[in-house]
Amino acid sequence: MYRFEWQKLIKRKLFPILLILVVSLVVILFVFYQSQFNFEKENEINSEQEEIQSIEMAIQGVKADPAESIAKNQILREYERDLKVAKAKLKAIKQGKSNERLKLQIIEDKNLLQDVRSGNTHTELTEKQIEMQIALKEKYDQGNFEYNETEFRLNGPGFTLGTLQFLFPFIFLIIFLLASLTIIGSDIDSGKLRFFWSLPIKKKHVFLTKELVALASGGIFLLITLSVAYLIPSIKNGFKTFQIPAIIQKGTDFYIGTEGEILASAIIMAAFIVLFLVSLQTILSLACRNNILSVIIIFLLIFSSGFLLGKMESDAGIFMMFNPFVYFDVVNLANGNIGAKLGNSSINIITGAGVLLAYTVVCQLLIFKLSTNEKLILNK
């Protein structure tokens, strides 16, 4: 039975086509990352020069003010301090001294934090965000890592995380659901379960086999996707350590972890999501008897949960904690962004795995109940 389901999956060719599609998306994403990274690198000098010009104009504006005061002198000293750091940073960029540039960025951030705390400047960043930036850069400096201030990371672990963030919670799951339809939904939708019911095998084993094949196909999808995402930048730019520092939030607090830590957590969460989706899709296929409708329902559930998450305030953490679809954004869950947004450190990988596993068990119980209902199964 297991071998038969695999042969059917491969024979219909949808699985390899969708697999090629996912790999192609990863390749396209890497090309996009590379082009954007190069673009930002090329404009670094121009951006820094514009920053210097902006500070110089601000200094001229302060000096042009005829009024003399302690506050004016304080602001002038701060601008001159920032100008000195900016010019040194521009020099480091031109000379390609990345370590020196990073040290200057740390000084720049510390100056900004001091100004924010004293009320002498306004910025979109909160004190906590500035503190996180400083802590991260200091960790890079201590470990002598090459700091990349853009969001387009081209090392193996970093790009793999970027790929997961791009594919989850929508693209990968929709592609996987379409692939698993050929295993689970097609026989239910077409009424071919009559054939399996005529065989001398237990009815629950029919669904169990289909779910196992769907899980295996999901594992293959995930493994190949992650392997390609890791190998492409690693082959091009060299294999990098998984110990590259990264910010991990924990409720209202944070600590400096590693990209490898976030990646491992995200992969574990993705595996639990695939497990839950297979069970949910089986239930919906049995209930709706329509493949497309079942996929649409799942997509709407994921989308609506993401929409609600964007609207929820920090006091909604308890309510959202039991929503399984909140945990589908695997990277933002793994780095603690979702828990921080909702002000609940309990919304994490461990809770997510427990919630998804609980829903999976409930779905399996319902599948067992429905699979014994011959009127439902054979009603097509």
Range of the domain at 49: 43-143
Same domain (yes/no): 126, 55: yes
* Cα 216 to chain centroid, rounded: 23
Question: Which domain-ending residue is among 85, 111, 143?
Answer: 143
Same domain (yes/no): 196, 125: no
What is the number of structural domains in the chain?
A: 2
Same domain (yes/no): 109, 25: no
Is 350 contained in some domain?
yes
Same domain (yes/no): 76, 176: no
Same domain (yes/no): 191, 327: yes
Q: What is the 3-state secondary structure (H, E, C) of the chain?
A: CHHHHHHHHHHCCHHHHHHHHHHHHHHHHHHHHHHHHHHHHHCHHHHHHHHHHHHHHHHHHHHHCCCCCHHHHHHHHHHHHHHHHHHHHHHHHHHCCHHHHHHHHHHHHHHHHHHHHHCCCCCCCCHHHHHHHHHHHHHHHHHCCCCCCCCCCCCHHHHHHHHHHHHCCCHHHHHHHHHHHHHHHHHHHHCCHHHHHCCCCCHHHHHHHHHHHHHHHHHHHHHHHHHHHHHHHHHHHCCCCCCCEEEEEECCEEEEEEHHHHHHHHHHHHHHHHHHHHHHHHHHHHHHCCHHHHHHHHHHHHHHHHHHHHHCCHHHHHHHHCCHHHHHCHHHHHCCHHHHHCCCCCCCHHHHHHHHHHHHHHHHHHHHHHHCCHHHHCCC
pLDDT computed for residue 194 by the predictor: 59
Is 150 contained in some domain?
no
Is 164 contained in some domain?
yes
Same domain (yes/no): 326, 363: yes
Same domain (yes/no): 302, 190: yes
Question: Which domain-ending residue is among 143, 165, 181?
Answer: 143
The amino acid at residue 180 is S
pLDDT computed for residue 374 by the predictor: 58
Same domain (yes/no): 64, 96: yes
Interatomic CA distance for residues 16 and 111, integer angstroms = 54
Question: Which domain-ending residue is among 98, 115, 143?
Answer: 143
Is 285 contained in some domain?
yes
- In the block, tokens 């909604």 appear at 316
pLDDT computed for residue 202 by the predictor: 66
Same domain (yes/no): 114, 171: no
Is 373 contained in some domain?
yes
Contacts of 77 (CB under 8 A, 6+ apart): none
Same domain (yes/no): 139, 164: no
Half-sphere exposure at residue 103, Cβ-oriented, CA atoms within 13 angstroms = 8
pLDDT along the chain (380 residues), means of 10: 66 84 95 93 90 92 80 86 94 91 95 86 85 95 89 93 93 87 66 59 72 89 95 93 93 90 96 94 82 86 81 65 92 92 86 96 88 58
Contacts of 20 (CB under 8 A, 6+ apart): none
Same domain (yes/no): 100, 239: no
Interatomic CA distance for residues 309 and 151, integer angstroms = 23
pLDDT computed for residue 196 by the predictor: 59
In DSSP terms, 246 is beta-bridged to: 257
Same domain (yes/no): 189, 324: yes
